[in-house]
Amino acid sequence: MNLNQQKNQHLWWRAGFGPPVDRFKELSKQKPEALFHSILKASEKKPALFDLADPDLKEMVMENQQMSSGKMQNLKPGEKQMIRKQSVQDIYKLNLRWLQEMTDSHAQLLEKMSLFWHGHFASKTVNIIYDQLLLNVIRTNALGNFRDLLVDVSKTASMIQFLNNNQNKKGHPNENFSRELMELFTIGRGHYTETDVKESARAFTGWGTNPQGDFIFRPRQHDDGVKTFFGKTGNLTGEDILGILLEQKQTAVFITRKIYKFFVNDMVDEEIVSTLADRFFKNGYDIRDLMISIFNSSWFYDQKNIGVQIKSPVLWMVGLQRQLPLEIQNPMVQLILQRLLGQVLFSPPNVAGWPGGKHWIDSSSLMLRMQVPQIISKSDIILSKPKDDDDVMMGMRDQRLINNPKKINDPGIQLFQTKILWDDYTKNFSDISDPGLYTAIRDLLLQRTFPMNENDMIKYIDESDRQRRIESVTIRLMGTPEYQLC
């Protein structure tokens, strides 16, 4: 493989969601430094905020201005159920809208960084207003300053509700947010004490939200007594606690290590992480600067970092559509795929988010990944069914995406209705001779050397004409274990 092409593909997969079909011919020509500059520049504009909440739902919630913390006492009978049901449907729309943005947006680094923070600040509320407010905070600050991001996320209704800070009151502190703030969001396990958890919980008393998603500080519920946290004593507030945690260099180390694992390699080079963390800390938690340091470094392109990460389900789904553009007639099938593969946006398994790495793959999910390209090419059926979880399935478990009425009661049938835009894909190989087609397609789709040679694949390839050969080689290679790596 052309070394420049391999580096650029590596950059596209790590700083984004894979190389787009309309940039294939540039991969072997453009210098990685120039490519990263263009990717970075495309992500500098603030993103347009998402608003997928149903207008009637928003009106109903906004009209209940006297609703206190989550009690919704003004709602009529049945309205709570309606709000929840509509929220579930709207979160489904938000899920697909963000997937579309990941696929089509030029701001690839911003959306990839947002996906990282989405897993870092994991939250699940099944409330469209709360969920999209949190996502908008994350996307707005994704490449900004971690200090701003941490403070803004901590005050979102989604995080306050998910970690029970509405119940954190003077005399009856709730430690959930305080504990996860330290263990998962800032300094990491082993760098704080139980006393730190208790004292910081007292500082966050009075932090709450209303059903409209606004942050509310309730002075009467705040413990204004003296607290001691990391050697500082006084009437500490929640903002004080966040500031003290950011003063700890360990916070920079913890965040940098997690970013390194997500964007570079699951096997952490602690010396590199230490150097990056020093810069991150000294530059006041400038996220953009940290990512520039990573993607402009020579070690980022070391062979030990290329093709060694298992694509997350979302990265795999989006990357496939960027390389092989599709028109999906029933987009909700993507939600079912997320569930089957173990990563549903807005529905993390717990507050720690998705573990990633080798956890993305088991015998069942790998087999499905390898089958999907063939299913897509034939608009075929998926013979699998996610476990019944209406929060996760977004109210879809009674919908059958099939076109055969005889199988309407078969819960294991899901139809993938797609049209592959082959012309947009195959034109990239117009200047490749027939003998070189297999190698060109292989080098484009796989980041690591593929052990099976062309002769071993001939029996699986349609050789009827050049177009069919390109199509069949592409589908076969996308259905290999190696395609799951980037």
Same-domain pairing of 210 and 168: yes
How distant, in Å, are the alpha carbons of 95, 370, 372, 424, 471 from that of 383? 23, 13, 11, 30, 24
Q: How far apart are CA 144 and CA 455, in angstroms?
A: 50
177, part of any domain: yes
Q: What is the dihedral of CA 445, 448, 454, 460, to 10 degrees?
A: -60
Domain ranges, residue 460: 427-484
Same-domain pairing of 407 and 438: no
Residue 6 in tokens? 């391999």
184-227 pLDDT, tens per residue? 999 999 999 999 999 999 999 999 999 899 999 999 999 999 99
Same-domain pairing of 391 and 464: no
The strand pairing partners of 413, in sequence order, are 383
Same-domain pairing of 400 and 443: no
Domain boundary (403, 420, 437) is at: 420
Same-domain pairing of 465 and 480: yes
91, part of any domain: no
Same-domain pairing of 335 and 398: yes
Q: How far apart are CA 28 and CA 310, in angstroms?
A: 24
216-274 pLDDT, tens per residue? 999 999 999 999 999 999 999 999 999 999 999 999 999 999 999 999 999 999 999 99
Same-domain pairing of 388 and 464: no
401, part of any domain: yes
387, part of any domain: yes
Same-domain pairing of 193 and 173: yes
Is the pTM here over 0.85, yes or no?
yes
338 has a pLDDT exceeding 50: yes
Residue 135: name the closest of 127, 318, 288, 72 by CA.
Answer: 127
Domain boundary (183, 218, 237) is at: 237
Same-domain pairing of 437 and 460: yes
Least confident of 194-198, 257-261, 346-350, 409-413: 409-413
452, part of any domain: yes
199, part of any domain: yes
64, part of any domain: no
Domain boundary (420, 453, 474) is at: 420
**Average pLDDT over every residue of 22-51:** 96
**Average pLDDT over every residue of 332-353:** 96
341, part of any domain: yes
The strand pairing partners of 169, in sequence order, are 172
Same-domain pairing of 396 and 412: yes
393 has a pLDDT exceeding 60: no
Same-domain pairing of 405 and 438: no
Same-domain pairing of 375 and 432: no
Question: What does the DSSP 8-state code read for residue 485?
Answer: B
When divided into structural domains, the chain yields a total of 3
Q: How far apart are CA 9 and CA 64, in angstroms?
A: 51
Is residue 130 a contact partner of residue 161, using CB atoms and an 8 Å limit?
yes
